[in-house]
Amino acid sequence: MLPFIRLQEEEEQEESRCLTMDFLSGALKKAPMKISGSYILEGYDENLEHWLDSMRIDGAELGPVFRETRVKLTVQEPSKFNKKWSLVHREEGEADLENAVTYTFEPGKPFAHDGGGHGQKIVCTSSPHRPNIIKCQTEVKDKKWLVETQIMFTPTGLNVTVTNKDANVSMTIRYSRMADPWTLKKKKMLRIRNIV
């Protein structure tokens, strides 16, 4: 077996071992995986258009637009110096227009987001027992929307499940983690060292 393949397999085994220990023990400790970082949209599940229709948005017309839009999500988890989560959602569409929206919140505390002037009220929570999951409840009174969002971080990315509570219709969005440049450089150096 080549040394760099063995290194990659050992890293994957270590990540899964840490996750198992953390979730089964229920210990109050930091997530065994790094959550902060950048994520790239992989895709939506087959329920996107149905979910858009349930929100009184034309799914047949806008579903393809959503599927073709490039999205990058940057996440900064709380630290002992800053108790707030930060999520920056950046889109690039066909016309190369970039649209960025930043959500900054402290778990359990309501916060408002302009959301195009529709008066959104959002409350997000996270649990010390499951630090890789964020749950949000969003109410948009002007549109009469009640939406529940669950963000689940994994070692390779994140899954966002969005549910229209009024119609009980859900969809899932998948993101993959972008490797940070420092980690890539470190792994490359380890592989070179093992080959030589």
pLDDT in tens, the chain (196 residues): 433 333 344 444 434 433 433 444 444 444 457 889 999 999 999 999 999 999 999 999 999 999 998 999 999 988 888 888 888 888 876 555 567 788 888 888 877 765 555 567 888 888 777 878 989 988 888 788 899 999 999 989 999 999 999 999 999 999 999 986 655 555 556 666 666 5
Residue partners of 43: CB distance under 8 A and separation at least 6:
67, 173, 174
Residue partners of 39: CB distance under 8 A and separation at least 6:
72, 73, 74, 75, 157, 158, 175, 176, 177, 178
Please tell me the predicted confidence (pLDDT) of residue 14. 39
Please tell me the predicted confidence (pLDDT) of residue 28. 41
Please tell me the predicted confidence (pLDDT) of residue 52. 96
39-68: b (≥16 Cβ within 10 Å) or e: bebeebeebbbbbbbbbeeebeeebeebee
Please tell me the predicted confidence (pLDDT) of residue 80. 84
DSSP single-letter state for residue 36: -
Query: pTM score, two decimals?
Result: 0.71
